[in-house]
Amino acid sequence: MLEIAKRALAGSILIVLLGIAPAQAQFAITDFDGQVLDAAGNGFSQAGGHPYAAGTTFQLKAGSDGLPDGGGVKDVQVDLPAGFVGNLTAVKPCPQGQKVPSGLETVAGLDANGFCRADSIVGLATIGLTIGTYASPVFSVEPAPGVVATLAFNYLDTPVFLDASIRTDGDYGVTIRGRWLNQSAAVLGTSLTLWGTPADHSHDAQRCLAIIPPIDFFPAADCAGNGDPGNPLLSASVAGSVPKAFLTNPTSCTAPGVGVLTRISLDSWTGGSDSSTFESHNPPASTPLAPLALDQRGPTTGPTGCASLPFDPSVQAQLTTAAPDAPTGLEIGLAFPQQDITNPSGLVTAHLKTATVTLPEGMTISPSAADGLVGCPDAQWAVGTLAAAQCPDASKIGTVQATTPLLSDPLQGALYVGSQHSDDPASGDMFRLLLTVDSEERGIHVKLPGQVRVNPATGRVQATFDNNPQLPIGTLKLRLKGGPRAPLATPADCGAKTIHTELTSWSGKTVERDSPVAIACPGAQPLAPSYTAGTTSNAAGKHTSFVLRVERPDGQQTLSGLSLSLPPGLLATLNGVPRCADVEASAGACPDGSRVGTATVGAGPGSNPFFLRGGVYLTGPYKGAPFGLAVAIRVLAGPFDLGTVVVRQQLLVDQHDAHVSVVSDPLPTILKGVPIRLRSLNVDVDRPAFILNPTGCAQQSVGAVFGAADGSLHAASSPFAASNCAALPFSPTFSAATTAKTSRANGASFDAKILIGVEGESNAHVVAVSLPRQLPSRLTTIQKACLDSVFNVNPAGCPAASLVGSAAAVTPVLSSPLTGPAYLVSHGGAGFPDLVIVLQGEGVRFDLVGAINISSKGITSTRFANAPDVPINSFELKLPQGPHSILTGNGSLCVKPLLMPTTITAFNGKQVKQSTRIKVSGCPRAKKAKKHPRTPRRRVR
């Protein structure tokens, strides 16, 4: 032992004396090569196979003094081809804290001082020095935190550690780094050979340390007992262990004549650096691993034989709930058999390249998930970096667990929602995912972008993760969270469903797997939402707000349509409200001045739908209606901007009682591929002084008809009645006039006018008058009344003789008066015709109907019983003289006063009865009596 120590000391002194001369020339790599070999020394290219050995070697440019130009090597980095991996479970790593043997130790010393044992050896390192060639076994040692694996060998009694990590900033291949290498001797080149099966006994002869001549520090006898358990570095555990494969070729193949690249980067102690690559190739003959000139290398080749690789994964899927139309989580488990990962003669399962999962029809993205959800910005994905993703917890929608035969512990990860890059749901860039798998202990941070493609019309979801790492995966489990904010929703219909999975390996093989899931029956029930509608204050004749509340429970057919029928007298004061132009309304860009209310919708299944709010705007004519509404809601659902949804409504005014109907365009059921699953609709029409209550307190209702997605209809009503009608005043004034000049040819004229003019009064409901005997109906005109079958189609088609007058009504709810003609309309039979006044303005038409009756004494009475519950400031009816006048004169109209019994009944029941004196114009003035001169009285004194 003393002699050995002396030689070691002399060698160390010699190395120090030779040293590293100051470098002036450029640091450079002259040769860089590597080979993957079988046991006979031939190239081994079988994809997914286990080679006998693989290694790399490099040489540096040396100057005339034999020393490397630019100084010695400080750091080395070798990037192996993606998919070329080592199985750390194939060998027993040397525990941390154990010493890397130098070759000077005895068996007793190894046992006593805790040196690494032979069952940790995985290869051989050969270092070319200016003073000779140094060889050392390469040990697998327990890795330090932050790296996947660590290799170590002894270099001049100093351990060199090579850390292996996964390139999570690129193609997820393996990178080996050695740093702060020994400066005590100038390195001219290094070869590192790893054994495909470290326990293979063919490597026993190399399980020792030696310096190869010309500097022979250690007796050759140290390795003479190769294979003998007495050898200091050949333990019984190696001799009796079952050989396990350590190295595996990639499972992706290249085209003929195309290899895969290995890259080396070196830094010198003096600041120089260089890098080089080589393309995989066969050796020219059965030769040991050594750098070869390009003209000496065999043909370039990459992995071959991919068709022979097994790829038979299994898939299992399970929903967290079986209820229809409900938020649900999803668990998907993938398993890849890896039985030959350690079989030296076997072929491993091809690595997974692409996974595509297609959900069944009806199983869609859930709007309920949007509440509180944020998108992870791309900068926080950290794709292309070695760092872990830094996504916020609010973007997390699931967890991931992966196992690999290369590591003993499972890897944990998460599934995040990414920020939106497109508004096309089918592009895969609108709904984006990030799958992460991390191990801080091993420095692994896998970040896989995923694309979710959604059918815009049906909402069917397909998620794809492409270019997965070329690493063996045993199992992969994805769990999308359940609960009310689950990202998915179950179909509304019940029964068996299928989740379809398509998996493609890096070897090019594709398999498809179907996973059955069941949705509990019964499925969607008929639509029957809860519904209320009315005003916030029902004080008669007062302004108020109108509210609509619709709630659809889970499990019912989707709400897709709505129309309302408001009770007569429930009005909107449109006068003074700007109308949103048609182009602006369709674009959802109405000015705030036209806003009359707010709409709030709840979307998504479960107990916590996602709520959105938008404006309700008054528009001009829409689809034949005189007015319209436009509901515009900007859909910002969590991280997704789905644009502005505009739903327009017709405001129709009934021509018989002036009640308003609201007919909505179809309610959207799907938006950008996301079924809305409308759960609630709340509308508040709360513009000040806009909604006006009726002045009649009769029990009424707000009727509704709901449309379901299956085409069915559901009718409902909400009770409504105004209150305190009796307190409303009612003080109309009624006046009438005619002209004294009548004739058989032109008949008589008649003008009537009602003035209310006091805001807050009850509206007039019934007006009944009886004309005096002097103004009888003109029977020749009565006989020329228009048939109702003609009038109902188009009053303009009525005979000219039936047009007997005109009218005008001024109402504060409209900007302009309602005006129009008055017709005699016959309903057939023996009855008298009606006087129908067609009032029109701003697109509104109302037919005021007066029932005419002529008594046996020739007295004409008319009763208008359908006056609308609408505030009227003034109403004037003109029945002029002419060839088709409705009235004629009976004798002189100037002889005595013309009195017309008049009864006006309000909607609150109050009546005003009067005997209206008809003013007659054109009567001759009464002659004044002659004045006789007065006899003056005599004054009595």
Question: What are 742's two structure tokens?
Answer: 């009548």
Element (H, E) at 705: strand 700-708
The pLDDT assigned to 157 comes to 76
Q: Where are the beta strands (DSSP E) in 404-494?
A: 411-417, 431-439, 444-454, 461-465, 475-480, 488-489
The pLDDT assigned to 163 comes to 94
pLDDT exceeds 50 at position 742: yes
pLDDT in tens, 384-434: 999 999 999 999 999 999 999 988 889 999 999 999 999 999 999 999 999
Q: Which phi and psi angles does 206 have, rounded to 5°? A: -105, 10
DSSP β-bridge partners for residue 775: none
pLDDT exceeds 90 at position 127: no
The pLDDT assigned to 830 comes to 77
Do residues 553 and 535 make contact, with C-beta atoms less than 8 angstroms apart? Answer: no
Handedness of CA 607, 610, 613, 618 (dihedral sign): negative
Distance of CA 145 to the CA centre of its chain: 39
- At residue 231 the predicted structure's pLDDT band, cuts being 50, 70 and 90, is very low
Question: What are 643's two structure tokens?
Answer: 């644009």
The pLDDT assigned to 257 comes to 93
pLDDT exceeds 90 at position 2: no
Give the closest residue to 862 by CA, choosing from 927, 771, 795, 931: 771
pLDDT exceeds 90 at position 24: no
- At residue 934 the predicted structure's pLDDT band, cuts being 50, 70 and 90, is low
Worst-scoring range by mean pLDDT, 59-68, 443-452, 564-573, 856-865?
A: 59-68
Report d(CA 818, CA 810) in Å as an integer. 6
Worst-scoring range by mean pLDDT, 100-104, 161-165, 373-377?
A: 100-104
The pLDDT assigned to 69 comes to 84
pLDDT in tens, 457-472: 999 999 999 999 999 9
The pLDDT assigned to 23 comes to 39
Q: Which residue has the higher pLDDT, 243 or 497?
A: 497
pLDDT in tens, 173-219: 999 998 877 776 778 889 999 999 998 888 877 765 443 333 333 33
- At residue 21 the predicted structure's pLDDT band, cuts being 50, 70 and 90, is very low
The pLDDT assigned to 941 comes to 38
Q: CA 868, 870, 873 angle in degrees (round to 5)?
A: 120
Question: Exposed, middle or buried by CB within 10 Å (0-12, 13-18, 19+), for 864?
Answer: buried
Question: Exposed, middle or buried by CB within 10 Å (0-12, 13-18, 19+), for 341?
Answer: buried
Task: Scan for tokens 């007066």, then name that residue.
Answer: 850
At 841, which amino acid appears?
G
Arithmetic mean of pLDDT, 497-514: 97
Give the closest residue to 563 by CA, choosing from 657, 655, 633, 667: 667
Q: CA 254, 259, 263 angle in degrees (round to 5)?
A: 130
- At residue 9 the predicted structure's pLDDT band, cuts being 50, 70 and 90, is very low
Q: Is 292 helix (H, G, I), strand (E, B) or coil?
A: coil
Q: Is 67 helix (H, G, I), strand (E, B) or coil?
A: coil
Report d(CA 430, CA 820) in Å as an integer. 56
Handedness of CA 467, 470, 475, 477 (dihedral sign): negative
Task: Scan for tokens 């250690």, then name that residue.
Answer: 218
Tell me the average pLDDT of the chain: 89
Element (H, E) at 8: helix 2-18
- At residue 248 the predicted structure's pLDDT band, cuts being 50, 70 and 90, is very high
User: What is the percent of the chain where pLDDT is above 70?
Assistant: 89
- At residue 700 the predicted structure's pLDDT band, cuts being 50, 70 and 90, is very high
Question: What are 208's two structure tokens?
Answer: 């020792």
DSSP state of 800: G
pLDDT in tens, 615-650: 999 999 999 999 999 999 999 999 999 999 999 999
The pLDDT assigned to 932 comes to 56
Arithmetic mean of pLDDT, 836-863: 95
pLDDT in tens, 104-113: 554 334 444 6
Helix, strand, coil percent content, the chain, rounded in steps of 5: 10, 45, 50
The pLDDT assigned to 212 comes to 38
Q: Which residue has the higher pLDDT, 235 or 788?
A: 788
Do residues 848 and 837 make contact, with C-beta atoms less than 8 angstroms apart? Answer: yes
Q: Which phi and psi angles does 480 have, rounded to 5°? A: -80, 135
Pairing of β 786-787 and β 818-826: parallel
Considering the entire predicted model, what is its pTM?
0.85
Helix extents (H) in 470-616: 582-587
Distance of CA 379 to the CA centre of its chain: 20
Element (H, E) at 57: strand 53-60
Arithmetic mean of pLDDT, 48-68: 89
Q: Is 259 helix (H, G, I), strand (E, B) or coil?
A: coil
The pLDDT assigned to 102 comes to 64
Helix extents (H) in 772-830: 779-782, 788-791
Q: Which residue has the higher pLDDT, 864 or 286?
A: 864
Give the closest residue to 310 by CA, choosing from 471, 472, 507, 468: 507
The pLDDT assigned to 428 comes to 96
State the maximum Cα–Cα separation within the chain, in Å, rounded to a whole number.
Answer: 187
Give the closest residue to 848 by CA, choosing from 870, 881, 832, 827: 870
Question: Exposed, middle or buried by CB within 10 Å (0-12, 13-18, 19+), for 840?
Answer: middle
The pLDDT assigned to 217 comes to 31
pLDDT exceeds 50 at position 348: yes
Report d(CA 547, CA 600) in Å as an integer. 11
Q: Which residue has the higher pLDDT, 111 or 381?
A: 381
Question: What are 185's two structure tokens?
Answer: 């001797």
DSSP string, 527-591: P--EEEEEES--BTT-EE-EEEEEE--TTBPPEEEEEEEPPTT-EE--TTPPPBPHHHHHHT---
Arithmetic mean of pLDDT, 14-29: 52
